[in-house]
Chain A
Amino acid sequence: MNRALNSTYWLLSGLMSRVASAAALFFLLTLVSAALLVDVLPIDPFAQRLVDALKGPSATNWFGTDELGRDIFARVVYGARTSLSTAGAAVIIAAALGIPIGLVAGFFGGWRDTVLMRFIDVLLALPAILFAMALIAVLGRSQMAAVIAVGITGIPNFARITRARVLSLRKRDFVTAVEAFGGSSGYNMFRTILPNSWSPILVQVVVLCSVAILLEAALAFLGVGVAPPTPSWGEMLRTGKSYLYEAPYYAVLPGVVLTFTILSFDVIGRALATLLEDRHDASGAEIERTTP
Chain B
Amino acid sequence: MKLAEETATTGPVLSVRGLKVEFSVSDRRVPVVRGIDFDVYPNEVLCIVGESGSGKSVTSLAVTGLLPETAQIEGSIRLGGMEVNGADRDVLRRMRGEDVGFVFQDPGTTLNPVLKVGRQITEGQVALSRLRRADAEARAVELLRDVDIADPEQRVRQYPHQFSGGMRQRAVIAMAIAGQPKLIIADEPTTALDVTVQAQVLTVLARRQAEMRAAVVLITHDLGVVAQVADRVAVMYGGRIVETGPVDAIFRSPRHPYTRALLRSIPRMDAGEARLDPIPGQPPMPYALPPGCAFEPRCAVGSGRPRCRTEDPTLSAVAALQQAACHYVDEALPPAKVHAMAKPKPTETTAPPLLEVEGLKVHFPIKSSVLRRTTGWVRAVDGVNISVRAGETLSLVGESGCGKTTIGRTVMGLVPASAGDIRFDGQSMVRLGRGEMRAARRRMQYIFQDPYSSLNPVLPAEDIVSEPLRIHGLYEEMGGARRVAELFDMVGLSRGMLGRYPSEFSGGQRQRIGIARALILEPRLLILDEPVAALDVSIQAQILNLLQDLQAELGLSYLFIAHNLSVVRHISDRVAVMYLGRIVEQGTRDELYDNPVHPYTQSLLSAAPDPDPAARHAGRRIVLEGEIPSPAAPPDGCVFHPRCFRASGRCSVEAPAFQPYSGLSTWTACHHAGPLDRKSATLAEVSR
Residues of A at the B interface (CB closer than 8 Å) are 3, 172-174, 176-183, 187, 192, 195-196, 282-285, 287, 289-292
- Asked if B455 and A182 sit within 8 Å, CB to CB, the answer is no
The smallest beta-carbon distance between A193 and chain B, in angstroms, is 9
Q: Which of B444-487 contact A (CB under 8 A)?
A: 445-446, 448-450, 452-460, 467-468, 471-472
- Pick from B221, B454, B456, B517 the residue with the most CB of A within 10 Å: B456
Would you call A292 and B454 a contact (CB within 8 A)?
A: no
Residues of A within 8 A of B533 (CB): 291-292
In the complex, what distance in Å separates the CA atom of A177 from the CA atom of B472? 14
Also in contact, A174 and B456, with CB within 8 A (given A180-B445, A292-B563)? yes
Give the 10 A-B residue pairs with the shortest CB-CB distance, closest first: A173-B454, A182-B438, A181-B468, A284-B503, A173-B453, A174-B456, A173-B448, A183-B471, A182-B441, A180-B446
> Is the CB–CB distance between A290 and B453 below 8 Å?
no
For this complex, 14 residue pairs linking A to B, each with C-beta atoms less than 8 Å apart, are A173-B448, A173-B453, A174-B453, A176-B414, A177-B454, A180-B441, A181-B445, A182-B437, A182-B438, A287-B452, A290-B221, A291-B533, A292-B533, A292-B564
Complex CA–CA separation, A195 to B501 (angstroms): 14
A180–B523 alpha-carbon span in the complex (Å): 13
State A287–B457 Cα separation when bound (angstroms).
Answer: 13
Compute how far the CA of A176 lies from the CA of B193 in the bound complex, rounded to whole angstroms: 25
**In the complex, A180→B468 CA distance in Å?**
9
Does B137 sit at the interface, judged by CB under 8 A?
Answer: no
CA distance A172 to B456 in the complex (A): 9
In contact, A179 and B414 (Cβ under 8 angstroms): yes
Taking CB atoms, residues of chain B closer than 8 Å to A176 are 414, 448, 454
Say whether B452 contacts A182, CB under 8 Å: no
Q: Are A195 and B458 touching (Cβ within 8 A)?
A: yes
Most B-side CB within 10 Å, residue of A178, A181, A187, A192: A181
B276 within 8 Å of A by Cβ? Answer: no
Chain B contacts with A in 400-444, Cβ cutoff 8 A: 412-414, 437-438, 441-442
Q: B188–A177 contact, CB under 8 A?
A: no
Distance A176 CA – B414 CA, assembled complex (angstroms): 8
Known: A172-B453, A183-B471. A283 touches B534 (CB 8 A): no
Q: A177-B446, A180-B441 are in contact. Are A290 and B105 (CB under 8 A)?
A: yes
Give Cα A182 to B414, complex, Å.
10
A177-B517, A289-B52 in contact; A282/B503 too (CB < 8 A)? yes
- Given known pairs A180-B412, A180-B446, the reply for A291 and B457 (CB within 8 Å) is no
How far apart are the CA atoms of A162 and B507 in the complex, in Å?
Answer: 29
Closest CB-CB distance, A41 to chain B, in whole Å? 41
For the complex, count residues of B whose C-beta is within 8 A of A: 41
Chain A residues near B608: list those with CB within 8 A.
none
A285 partner residues in chain B, CB cutoff 8 A: 452-453, 457, 503
**In the docked arrangement, what's the CA distance between A100 and B190, Å?**
44
Nearest CB in chain A: distance from B265 CB, A: 17
B507 touches which one: A173, A180, A181, A289 (CB < 8 A)?
A289
Say yes or no: is B354 at the interface (Cβ < 8 Å to chain A). no
* Interchain CB contact under 8 A, A196 and B471: no
Contact A182 B188 (CB under 8 A): no
Total number of A-B contacts with CB less than 8 angstroms? 88
Contact B457 A196 (CB under 8 A): yes
Partner of B471, one of A173, A181, A282: A181
State the Cβ distance, A150 to closest chain B Cβ, in Å. 30
B92: Cβ under 8 A from any A Cβ: no
A287 CA / B504 CA spacing, docked (Å): 13
Which residue of chain A has the shortest Cβ distance to B193 in the bound complex?
A292
Cα-based distance from A3 to B459 in the complex (angstroms): 9
Q: Would you give the shortest CB distance from A230 to chain B, in whole angstroms?
A: 42
Minimum CB–CB distance from A50 to chain B (whole Å) comes to: 60
In angstroms, how far is the closest chain A Cβ from the Cβ of B373? 15
A86 to chain B, nearest CB (A): 32
Chain A residue numbers with a CB within 8 Å of B458 are 3, 195-196
Contact B456 A196 (CB under 8 A): yes
Partner of A174, one of B52, B188, B454: B454
Which residues of the other chain, A, contact B192 by a CB distance below 8 angstroms? Answer: 291-292
- Inter-chain contact A181/B453, CB cutoff 8 Å: no
Q: Are A290 and B191 in contact (CB under 8 A)?
A: yes
Distance (Å) between the CB of B515 and the closest chain A CB?
12
Instruction: Report the minimal beta-carbon distance from A183 to chain B, rounded to whole angstroms.
Output: 4
A182 to B471, CA, bound (A): 7
Closest Cβ of chain B: how far from A251's Cβ, in Å? 47
Q: Within 8 Å of chain A (Cβ to Cβ): is B40?
A: no
Contacts of B188 in A (CB 8 A): 290
Q: B456 touching A192 by the CB < 8 A rule?
A: yes
When distances are taken between beta carbons in the complex, the residues of chain B under 8 Å from A282 are 503
* With A180-B414, A181-B471 as contacts: A291 and B441 at CB distance below 8 Å: no
**Alpha-carbon distance A233/B56, docked complex (angstroms):** 62
With contact pairs A179-B414, A180-B412, A282-B503 given, residues A289 and B467 touching in the complex (Cβ less than 8 Å): no
Contact in complex: A178, B471 (CB < 8 Å): yes
Minimum CB distance partner of A181 in chain B: B468
B521 sits at the interface (CB 8 A): yes
- With contacts A181-B441, A181-B521, A187-B471 taken as known, whether A173 is within 8 angstroms of B450 at the C-beta atoms is yes
User: A194: shortest Cβ distance to chain B, in Å?
Assistant: 10
B530 and chain A: residue at smallest CB distance: A292
- Sample of 13 further A-B pairs with CB below 8 A, known A178-B456, A289-B534, A291-B192: A174-B453, A174-B455, A177-B454, A177-B517, A181-B471, A182-B437, A182-B468, A183-B471, A289-B52, A291-B449, A291-B533, A292-B191, A292-B563
| Contact call A177/B448, Cβ cutoff below 8 A | yes
Question: In the complex the two chains form, what is the Cα distance from A192 to B453 in whole Å?
Answer: 13
Residue of A nearest to B435 (CB): A182
Distance in angstroms from B444 CB to nearest chain A CB is 9
Residue ID in chain B nearest A180 by CB atoms: B446
Cα distance, A287 to B437, chains bound together (Å): 35
Residue of B nearest to A192 (CB): B456
